[in-house]
Chains A and B, each alone.
Chain A
């Protein structure tokens, strides 16, 4: 069974600093995708970044980077130069059986001015 674990229920970060959100996963499938989504207080789910299990390099998208450590089964999200608008819930997800996404419980990030 696929399982996603996010151990940090809430985090505070100072504006302009970096923050790392932890995500570990468990799967026996060799092929899978890892995703991070942002859910602001308005409720929509916004795609941030993707990492494929066979990708050799860590994914980056602007201020977002994914620290992929395959042997440790971790896919941590790093947000650099935090902004007030980054305050939201962040979900780590993994695709399994090709198309289903399994989500973690989420981490709430609050950016302080």
Chain B
């Protein structure tokens, strides 16, 4: 999983503030995925992006959450007006292809632990 860079590793926000989580995919990867992990649970899919396009955001809450993957720069997961329930680990993954038929290995970053006070 070397190469997927997430920052910050830890983020503390007060209720009502905004959280911005950054993800730089592995070199040569153009597919980015965001997952959320609640304590003692497995990861849950949130959103899938390619450069400048949101392909699937079906796992993302309809309000307060947004994601982007601009032509230049990292992918950003943005959470507005955070609430305590947003406290979780947020993982970014990247891959070379978006198809499971082509052995679509998703490599993960180290995650961002968001704590909402």
Which residues of A are interface residues toward B (Cβ below 8 A)?
A: 4, 31-33, 35, 37, 42-47, 50, 52, 91, 93, 95-106
B69 within 8 A of A: no
A49 vs chain B, min Cβ distance (A): 10
Interface contact B44-A103, CB-CB below 8 Å: yes
B18 within 8 A of A: no
Interface contact A98-B104, CB-CB below 8 Å: yes
From 38 to 76 in chain B, residues with beta carbon under 8 angstroms from any chain A beta carbon are 40-45, 48, 55-56, 59
* Residues of chain A contacted by B45 (CB below 8 angstroms): 100-102
Q: What is the CA–CA distance of A18 and B108 in the complex, to the nearest angstrom?
A: 26
A107 vs chain B, min Cβ distance (A): 11
* Residues of chain A contacted by B59 (CB below 8 angstroms): 100
Interface secondary structure of A, over-half rule = strand
B25 within 8 A of A: no
A108 vs chain B, min Cβ distance (A): 10
Q: CB within 8 A of B1: which of A32, A47, A93, A100?
A: A47
* Residues of chain A contacted by B108 (CB below 8 angstroms): 37, 44-47
Complex A-B: 25 CB contacts under 8 Å? A31-B100, A33-B103, A33-B104, A43-B113, A44-B1, A44-B109, A44-B111, A45-B93, A47-B107, A47-B108, A50-B105, A91-B42, A91-B43, A93-B42, A95-B104, A97-B56, A98-B100, A98-B104, A99-B33, A99-B48, A99-B56, A99-B98, A100-B48, A101-B35, A105-B41
Count of residues in B whose CB is under 8 Å from the partner chain? 32
Q: What is the CA–CA distance of A102 and B99 in the complex, to the nearest angstrom?
A: 15
B93 vs chain A, min Cβ distance (A): 8
**Which residue in chain A gives the minimum CB-CB distance to B106?**
A101
Q: What is the CA–CA distance of A32 and B101 in the complex, to the nearest angstrom?
A: 7
B31 within 8 A of A: yes
Residue among B33, B43, B99, B110 with most chain A CB within 10 A: B43
Given contacts A35-B106, A43-B89, 4 further A-B contacts (CB under 8 A): A33-B100, A50-B103, A91-B42, A99-B33
Q: CB within 8 A of A99: which of B40, B43, B100, B109?
A: B100
